[in-house]
Structure 1
Amino acid sequence: MNLLIRSAKIIYPNSPYHNQVSDILIEDGIITSIEKDISADYESFDAAGSMLMPGFFDLNCNIGELGNETKEDLQTGTSAAAAGGFTGLALMPNTQSPVHSKAEVEYLVNKSKGNLVDVLPLGTISNKREGKDMAELYDMYRSGAIAFTDGNRPVQDAGLMERAMLYTKGFNALIFSYPEDTAIAGKAQVNEGEVSTQLGMKGIPALAEELMVARDLYLAEYTNSPVHFSTISTKRSVQLIREAKKNGIKVTCDVAAHHLVVTDNELNSFDSLYKVKPPLRTRQDVDALIDGLNDGTIDAIVSQHTPHEVEYKDVEFEIASFGIIGLQTAFSLALKAGLTPELIAEKLSVNPRKILGLGPVKLEVGAKANFVLVDPNISWDYAKTTNFSKSENSPYIGQTLNGKVLLTINNNQQFKNTSK
């Protein structure tokens, strides 16, 4: 792939080119020149008014393969990722069967080779995600799993979580915690509060999340091991993690993009497309999440891409499945939340790779081209025709969103967004 990008504003935190407007020449997928004005007899892309950032990396992506390919397969999932500006995905192990041994890890690693999007499987903490016995963590690590989580099933057994933290510490792997105390959350569907009372529905208290955050912070401190919290959603969770960081506990966390812009007030219409877990919270929680991003308490933004067939969502709210697709909307929602381009680059590109211990994406001569070109001032129509996912369970399909991904480049391949 040979390409000349003209007049792009570079948004690369910690790069000497940060905030500069430059031309970038790519030859065979490698950056060969970064100058104010480059002449080359190659295809060119006019990037005037656009911003060039490191390719986004998603720490929380669900793809049905293995076993649930009717929801999403690797081809459609990575296509949606590229359309959303993602050049890397950490795949949750919520598949059938779960990614709980080296066989599943090796299948996903081999199946995704040669893709524009780098795919990194996450292995389960427990065998079959049952929360009882520890899975084959080291075997999975050697096969390519660099972190471990039971996905959307919290590890209720504190002893199991402690052993997993201690064990993975020996080979520098990372444990992801999905913080929910199921004994407190029960089978409720929405956030506990005024809206749940008005709707006449049993709510999930913020306490269900916060108890598990507190527990796993204690375990991380006791074992002197790192822990990463997936999709925190409450004000108190932000406060707990902020204090833990001040006290030197090795903790990182992320937030789903939709939790930054939508509150539980959207549920008054009983629209099952807004049924997610953790549930949509209050405006006070949303404001605390945004504050946490701005002050560094929250390290990353994730899509929490969770595809479903129509029969799992186009049903009564109480029996609908949790989750929405989010790979193509994460950047637009981050903009809608009022985040600056610099902060978006940090939370969607730089920090996710840092959390996983991956090397940074470099913008320099001789480096592999791995970046996304976005225009925060261009609107685009998210429609069924512009949706690259196999599933359509997004409340944003049919809406016009601000902030368009124009070009995604990685692994000597490019995705050019020609939709309007």
Structure 2
Amino acid sequence: MKSLLITSVKIVLPESEYHQQVVDVLIENGTITQIAPSITNNDDQVEIVAGAGRILSAGFFDLHANFGEPGLETKEDLHTGAAAAAAGGFTGVAVMPNTEPAIQSRAEVALIVNVAKGLPVSIHPIGAISKKREGTELAELYDMQQNGAIAFSDGNRAVQQAGLMSRALLYAKGIQALIISHAEDASMAAGNKMNEGEMSTYLGMKGIPNLAESLMVSRDLYLAEYNEAPIHFSCISTVEAVDLIRRAKAKGQPVTCDVAAHQLVFTDAEVVGFDSNYKVSPPLRTAQDNAALLAGIKDGTIDAVVSQHSPQEIEYKRVEFHVAKNGIIALQTALPLLVRAGLTEEEIVNTLAVNPRKIVGLKQPKIAVGEPANLVLFDTVSTWTFDENTNKSKSANSPLFGEELTGKVTLIVNNSQIIKN
């Protein structure tokens, strides 16, 4: 790797001794070798990047991305997913088991770990809780953990059987693993396509009530408490879920949660044009839910923000809203959405870089001399256009496609590689 000198950059990393300081940072052979107010460079082999007006932080880590490999590589493979992640400032990504076959045994976990070797973005598989993600029989959790799975989830399917979820929590506790819950009661959601409320009534579409999420959050909190096990809720979207998790945390229960970046900005009002790029699971909710989610980030109830990157081929999106597949490509737009939502620099770093790694027990990157460089350089004021020229994903299913966005990643450094935008 070429040596890199980042000049006059503000470091934002709350646990770093350089937090909120403006410094020069020299990286050589993938390692941070100097940090000082000013570094003199006489080596023409050192690439200099101006950091003035920009922020240097630990690389972002996404707790919830969907790549297609194995089996669904036409949506996204590990290489294109990593390219999209790098462009969005992510140096690490946890991939959900929504593949064919599902990530449900050591074979699929080992495949992902091996294919991802050498990529500039570290890719970590999340194993399925149940075989084929069908919610009836526990998958091989221990074998998957031994081969590199960092947590367990049935991805975009909720575990409907309380008994199976209880056993999963108990078993995962025994091997010091984390269960990630997708909270949706299928009998309440009933296969409907958007949020239940004034907008669904206006559009004449059957809706999914907030209760579908809060019922499952409540159930899984009780199950986790009964088994004295930790639990993580991914992509919560409702006022009620925030309140339930806040109360659980207040009484000391080991629960964490995240929210998808688009849930902080978009509402069900976007669906009025029947643009299928706004069709996601859980569905876009109301402005009141948005406000509750933002408040949850501010008070620490919500620990992390995820992309919920869900690529889909054009034939699954350019169709009528009610038959379109769920999902938004979002690795490259997570930062701009958090800027649009009004998060501070420190909140962005905590929710995108620090807390996601804490949740799954990964080592925290440090900005210190002698440490391997795992960094992102970004700012919250520059603009760029998300279009076919800048999109790194195989898919293009984003309501932000063609828009000028605020909040730009300049580069990442990870695994002794520099990737520039």
Q: TM-score, normalised by structure 1?
A: 0.99
Structure 1 residue 255 and structure 2 residue 259: aligned? Answer: yes
User: Which of 46, 56, 59 is residue 63 of structure 2 equivalent to?
Assistant: 59
Give 1:117's aligned residue: 121
Letter aligned with residue 173 of structure 1: A
Structure 1 residue 370 and structure 2 residue 374: aligned? Answer: yes
Give 2:154's aligned residue: 150
- The list of structure 1 runs, each at least 4 consecutive aligned residues, that deviate by more than 6 angstroms after superposition, is none
User: Which of 200, 205, 221 is residue 201 of structure 1 equivalent to?
Assistant: 205
Letter aligned with residue 205 of structure 2: M
Using the alignment, how far apart are the partners of 1:199 and 1:120 within structure 2? Answer: 40
Deviations 1:110-130 (Å, cap 9, x if unpaired)? 000011100100000001111
Using the alignment, how far apart are the partners of 1:376 and 1:100 within structure 2? Answer: 39
Deviations 1:132-164 (Å, cap 9, x if unpaired)? 000000000000002000000000001101101
Give 1:18's aligned residue: 19
Give 1:8's aligned residue: 9
Give 1:230's aligned residue: 234
User: What secondary structure sits across from 1:311 in the alignment?
Assistant: helix
Using the alignment, how far apart are the partners of 1:50 and 1:21 within structure 2? Answer: 10
Using the alignment, how far apart are the partners of 1:371 and 1:294 within structure 2? Answer: 24
Using the alignment, how far apart are the partners of 2:189 and 2:393 within structure 1? Answer: 30
Shift of 1:375: 1.4
Give 2:354's aligned residue: 350
Please give the residue correspondences for 1:3-402 in structure 2 after superposition, counting only pairs within 5 Å: 3-40=4-41, 41=43, 42-402=46-406
Using the alignment, how far apart are the partners of 2:339 and 2:15 within structure 1? Answer: 21
Letter aligned with residue 16 of structure 1: E
Shift of 1:35: 0.3
Give 2:415's aligned residue: 411
Using the alignment, how far apart are the partners of 2:115 and 2:415 within structure 1? Answer: 16
Letter aligned with residue 58 of structure 1: D
Deviations 1:20-78 (Å, cap 9, x if unpaired)? 00000000000000001112211110111101111000000000000000000011000
Using the alignment, how far apart are the partners of 1:289 and 1:374 within structure 2? Answer: 24
Letter aligned with residue 8 of structure 1: V
User: What secondary structure sits across from 1:255 in the alignment?
Assistant: strand
Using the alignment, how far apart are the partners of 1:231 and 1:375 within structure 2? Answer: 25
Using the alignment, how far apart are the partners of 1:120 and 1:31 within structure 2? Answer: 24
Shift of 1:241: 0.2
Letter aligned with residue 330 of structure 1: A
Shift of 1:259: 0.2
Letter aligned with residue 416 of structure 2: N
Using the alignment, how far apart are the partners of 1:359 and 1:72 within structure 2? Answer: 27
Shift of 1:15: 1.0
Percent of residue pairs identical:
60
Structure 2 segments unaligned to the other structure (5+ residues)? none
Letter aligned with residue 20 of structure 1: Q
Shift of 1:171: 1.4
Letter aligned with residue 290 of structure 1: L
User: What secondary structure sits across from 2:342 in the alignment?
Assistant: coil
User: What secondary structure sits across from 2:284 in the alignment?
Assistant: coil
Shift of 1:351: 0.2
Using the alignment, how far apart are the partners of 1:328 and 1:110 within structure 2? Answer: 24
What is the aligned-residue RMSD (CA, Å)? 0.5
Using the alignment, how far apart are the partners of 1:43 and 1:388 within structure 2? Answer: 24
